[in-house]
Each structure stands twice: as C-alpha cells, then as structure tokens.
Structure 1
Amino acid sequence: MIEILKSLEFEPFLLSFKLAGITTLILFVIALPLSWYLSQTKSKLKPFLEALTALPIVLPPSVLGFYILWALSHNSPLGVFFEELFGYKLVFNFTGLVIASCFYSLPFMVQPMQSGFESVNKNMLEASFIAGKGKIQTLLKVALPNIKPSLLTAIIVTFAHTVGEFGVVLMVGGSIPGETKVASVAIYEFVEIMDYTAAHVYSAIMVVISFLVLLCVYIFNHKQNKKLGL
C-alpha cells in the first residue's frame, strides 16, 4: 500500500484544493451581498433571482459546462474581448476553471447564507436601523455574527463541492497536468485506462475528505445548537 501511495502523483489534489480555495473566497464576496439582498427583499423578482441562483443544482453539468465553454471561448464576445485586449484565453486553463467553478458552486454558498440571514431575529435588525446604522453596518456587525453555523456550512460545503467537481471542469478545462487536471478528472482517466488500483486510492481519499468535511460541519452545528438550548 505504501509503495502504491509513493507511485501516485498528488498534484491533482493540490490543484483541486487550490481551485476550491480560490472559488470559495470569490463566492463568499459575491454571495454575501446577494444572499443578504435575497433574505431582505420583498421584490416580485425574488423568486426569479432565487431560481436563477439555484439553477446549477438541477442543471446537468454537461449543459452548464457547454454554455460556460461557449461563453468563454473565442467565439463569444467575452472570449474575444479578453483575447484581443489581454492576449489571454479563458478556456483550457486554470482561470477558466475558476470562472466555471464559481457558476457551478454559487448556490452552495448563497442558499445556506440566505437561510441564515432569514433566521436572524427581525427585532435585532430593526433595532440596528433605529440606532442609525446603515444596511452595510447592520449586515457586517449584526447579521453576519449571528449566522456563524450557516456561514461555516456555506464555506465548507462550497469548498468540498468544488473539490469534487467533474463534468463542468472537464468540459471547460480538459485535462492538462499541472493546469486543469484536478483529482476528479484524474480518477476518470485512471478508470479509462483500467488502472483501478490508482482509481481506488484517489477515490478513497476523496471519500475520506468529503466525510471529514461533513463531520466538521455537523459537529460544529451540534455544538452551536447545544449552546442555544435547541
């Protein structure tokens, strides 16, 4: 077993963690105002925005990956803009993976945070507004500190979900060693060449990582519930 582990390349895992870390950071910045807005707004457009945000959950990865691939390719206005202005292509490289991952993992960051904000006591928010604090101050100093379990869930699940991406990543990034060949793609390639030993090892590592991530979330939430007497 030790010899098998020594013979395997773990660069795909490092690349997966790098991708997940950057994606989670970007999505936190995007999802924070978006989830706050969705939790507070009474606009008739709210169901439309919620459905649009949640679309990656039900949309087949191949469909989402195809449209992201098209949107970033040299055949699209965005792709042409980047290629002509910066001389940089957005497909089959790490930057393209990050963009695709942000679309694919967006609901996993937004929904827990939105649920957390919706559970905050409205009296606390009203008291903050009455005290003269603006919406941004209320968000950062009142609402955000009171949704720690939801916030942790959003961050960890988004990170874990990004680590396990396959369909979208493969379509947008392909399999370029050191650039776009993440762990899930490596497992797929091992199966293709019938190297089931390596596939088993990589898959087992992914199972352990996923389990530990979920275990941490549930332990933290359980402790928080005990503190609140729930």
Structure 2
Amino acid sequence: MELDLTPFFLSLKLSFITTVLLLLIGIPLSYFIAYTEFRLKPIVEAVITLPLILPPTVLGFYLLILFSKNGFLGSLWEKIAGHQLSFHFEGLVFASIIFSFPFMIHPLISGFRSVNRSIIEAAYTLGKSRLKTLFYVILPNMKPAVITGIVLSFAHTLGEFGVVLMIGGSIDGETKVVSIAIYEAVEKLDYTSAHIYAGILLGFSFFTLLTVYLLNKKYEFKG
C-alpha cells in the first residue's frame, strides 16, 4: 500500500504559516494587553479565550458564514484573489489563526507579566526606546513563554479537525490535511493508513509537549 503523505505536508505548511503569523500578531497585542489598563480589557481577553471553550462546530459555522461569498471577509477576499476563502488553503490559514489564537496569546501575556519591571525601567532610564527594550530586554527574559506559544500553536494547528473540516472540506492538495485524512481512512475502514497518520501525530504531539517541558526546566534552572 502506498501512503499519500501530501496531507501531512499540507498540515505542516499550514501550521508553519499560522504560527509565524500568530507570533507577528501576538507579540504586539500581548504587550499591549499585559502592560496597558483600559476599561474593555476583560472583554478583549474573553474574546481571545473564546476558541478554547467554543465547540469547533460553532466556531467553524460562523467562520464559514464570514468566509463565504456573502460574508464580509469572503467577499473582500474574492475581490482581491478572485476566489472565496472557504474551501481554499487561505481560508484554512485565517481559520487556524483564529482557533489557535489563545495558544499563542496566553503564554505571551504571562511571559510579559513575568518580566521584572525594574529591568524595563532601567532600560528606559538608560535611554533605550520601547522597541529596543522589547527586543533586547523583555523578549530575551521571557524565552520560555515565547517558545511555549510557538510550540503549542504549531501543534494545535497541526491536529485540529472540526474547524478545518467545516471551512475547507476535503480537497486533495488544497484543504485535505492529515486530521481529515485520518477521518476519511477510518470511514473507508483503511485502518493501516489511519494508524500511520495517527501514529505520526501522536508521536509529534508527545515530543512537542516534552520539548516545552524540557526547555522550560532548562530556563528555570538558568534563572
């Protein structure tokens, strides 16, 4: 039996792009939330956390409406790219950013809050700008939080099923990621393929968590 590895490579591509974009969005947003007090802060934090507790079908349903030709993002994307977001790889990227958002944002917020404010104030006193202080003082002192956010976001995106099924369906080479491939293999009673796909994901998830714990222990020991 020849196993099609395309869904696995597509999942890795999706996870990589999603994680990079989440990191770029997450650092400034987490910085703002961690160090700024404003009246609507609890609402913003609640919205960010929603994907953790919402059933994937609920989130997927609303995203499907938003990404459709009649939806705001869907119609806008169709004008730009010539096709709708749903049932295309770009739609999976947008959806993945939303449902993996808390897995990046929460570790980063905790990391920013864990940095000793005295070293931040010292950097400002020495004439460092906020941007230089962020990159040369704050981020180096919260490496475990950054690594945790990156690893958890990547792993969560890699294994997501419900949302990607509703947004992307199962289109070979476009939206058929490994979690969908496992589901279809089981439906066809092709347990050999399902075992291989599931085994790869299980092994990756285990080593992902192991990496996070080992790195955090390493930085705790150094600290």
Say yes or no: TM over 0.5.
yes
**Is residue 133 from structure 1 mapped to residue 137 from structure 2 by the alignment?**
no
- Residue 13 (structure 1) aligns with: 8
Q: Provide TM-score, normalisation by structure 1.
A: 0.93
Shift in Å at residue 99 of structure 1? 0.4
Question: CA-to-partner distance for each residue in 1:196-220, whole Å, 9 max, x for gaps?
Answer: 2221121111100100111111111
Question: CA-to-partner distance for each residue in 1:169-199, whole Å, 9 max, x for gaps?
Answer: 0100010011100000000111111212221
Question: Superposition pairs for residues 166-185 of structure 1, below 5 Å?
Answer: 166-185=161-180
Report the 3-state secondary structure (helix = DSSP H, G, I; strand = E; otherwise coil) of the residue aligned with 2:100: helix
- Residue 87 (structure 1) aligns with: 82
Cα distance 1:120–1:88, how it changes in 2: closer, same or farther (>3 A)? Answer: same
What is the percentage of aligned positions where both structures have the same residue?
A: 52
Report the 3-state secondary structure (helix = DSSP H, G, I; strand = E; otherwise coil) of the residue aligned with 1:27: helix
Gaps of 5+ in 1: none
- Residue 196 (structure 2) aligns with: 201
For the residues of structure 2 that align with 1:188 and 1:174, how far apart are their CA atoms? 12
- Residue 24 (structure 2) aligns with: 29
Cα distance 1:139–1:186, how it changes in 2: closer, same or farther (>3 A)? Answer: same
Gaps of 5+ in 2: none
Q: Which moved more, 1:50-59 or 1:135-144?
A: 135-144
Q: Which moved more, 1:83-92 or 1:164-173?
A: 83-92
- Residue 144 (structure 2) aligns with: 149
Question: CA-to-partner distance for each residue in 1:29-48, whole Å, 9 max, x for gaps?
Answer: 00000111111012122211
- Residue 183 (structure 2) aligns with: 188
For the residues of structure 2 that align with 1:25 and 1:133, how far apart are their CA atoms? 27
Q: Provide TM-score, normalisation by structure 2.
A: 0.96
